[in-house]
Amino acid sequence: ALLSEIKGAAGQPACDVAVCVPAPYLSQCQSLLEGSAIRWGGQDASLHESGAYTGEVSCSMLADFACGYVIVGHSERRTYHGETDELVAGKAVRALKSGIAPIVCVGESLEQREAGKTDEVVGAQIDAVLAVLSAEEIAGIVVAYEPVWAIGTGRTATPQMAQDVHAMLRAKLRAKNPAAADAVKILYGGSMKPDNAADLLAMADIDGGLIGGASLKAADFLAIIRAA
Ligand SMILES: O=C[C@H](O)COP(=O)(O)O
């Protein structure tokens, strides 16, 4: 019902729109969204491409369902599943090899922000990914800055706080691929809602949003799409 409502109302949006769903719903996404302006993707993927890894979902499996994107390194994966910067980087490589754009999530905890370590932590997270990608591959990724303290909490980074981190991320992209850096989408995620989306998206280096809670209400998701 959610997908149908979004598809019906979104029409031909002026921005890229995608939904990233748990793997069991990918087939449903493909059936419902194929031919529409909305693309779809996974919420995670395995580091392994083949072999005996029962339960893992590989990037080539995601490609079988025509996924355009896969989220890698979401803070919940890093926190609850022990995913390291290097593992996340490996997943980004796997996705690109399967023709899927990895949405690479980075972000600091509240403790790290209060200790003045935001740039250090987020910088190390993106550096691990940039270290294993060629300049050409960098043009194929999406980056999502998601301060952990803002995810699902209703507490949003101010536009300037987010912009400062996005600018740092852009500079790192530019250092690896000056020609592609401006075209790489850097999304903000963390309690983005209809009432704060426009202000966040107005910032120079905030190119879009990675929406959690508000994407589960079609009216809210559609309002954010219109703001974008
Ligand atoms: O996965 C989505 C992001 O973590 C943001 O979630 P949120 O919009 O509910 O804060």
* Active-site amino acid positions: 74, 146
Nearest Cα residue to atom 2 of ligand 1: 212
Asked whether the CA dihedral 103, 141, 27, 37 is positive or negative, the reply is positive
From ligand 1's centre to the CA of 22, what distance in Å? Answer: 14
CB 96 within 8 A of CB 137: yes
CB 42 within 8 A of CB 91: no
Could you tell me which residues are annotated as the binding site? Answer: 152, 191, 212-213
From ligand 1's centre to the CA of 47, what distance in Å? Answer: 23
Q: What is the pLDDT of residue 133?
A: 96
Q: What is the pLDDT of residue 211?
A: 98
Q: What is the pLDDT of residue 11?
A: 85
Nearest Cα residue to atom 1 of ligand 1: 212
Q: What is the pLDDT of residue 99?
A: 98
CB 118 within 8 A of CB 108: yes
CB 42 within 8 A of CB 23: yes
Could you tell me which residues are annotated as the binding site for substrate? Answer: 152, 191, 212-213
Among 76, 80, 211, 215, name the best residue to mutate to test ligand 1's pocket (greatest count of ligand atoms within 8 A of Cβ): 211
Q: What is the pLDDT of residue 32?
A: 97
Which ipTM was obtained for this model? 0.96
The domains located in the chain, with CATH, are 2-227 (3.20.20.70)
* pTM (predicted TM-score): 0.97
Per-run averaged pLDDT (10 residues), the chain, 228 residues? 92 94 97 96 97 96 98 97 97 98 97 97 98 96 97 92 98 96 97 97 98 97 96
